[in-house]
Amino acid sequence: MITCKEFILDFLADYLDATLSPEVVAELEHHLASCPPCLAYLNTYKRTRELVGQTVPAEMPAEMKTILRKFLREQLTKEMS
Ligand SMILES: [Zn+2]
């Protein structure tokens, strides 16, 4: 099972780049189907990438970092409670 944290930190960029194996993609899509916050985060991330162009800089825009931190905090709180 993939957790929110793994999805965001380990798989999101590769998922959008389509460099993952079909098995992993299936797992991610299963997670997305049952996890609206991750889906929302994915959409935000995709939009940001479109704004900055095809080549994504290694450095995340400051706004994305803020969203990511807030998101992870909320998700981790939820998972622990
Ligand atoms: Zn999730």
CA of residue 34 to ligand 1 center, whole Å: 8
Tell how far the Cα of 3 is from the centroid of ligand 1, in angstroms.
6
> Model confidence at 9, in pLDDT bands (50, 70, 90)?
confident
Number of domains in the chain: 1
pTM above 0.85, yes or no: no
Expressed as residue numbers, the domain containing 31 is: 4-80
70 CA to centre of ligand 1 in angstroms = 14
Residue 75 vs residue 8, higher pLDDT: 8
- Taking the C-alpha atoms of residue 28 and residue 33, their distance in angstroms, rounded to an integer, is 9
Q: Is the pLDDT of residue 14 over 80?
A: yes
Q: Which of 35 and 53 is assigned the larger pLDDT?
A: 35
**Tally of residues, the chain:** 81
38 CA from centroid of ligand 1 (Å):
4
Q: Are 71 and 5 in contact (CB under 8 A)?
A: no
DSSP class of residue 12?
H
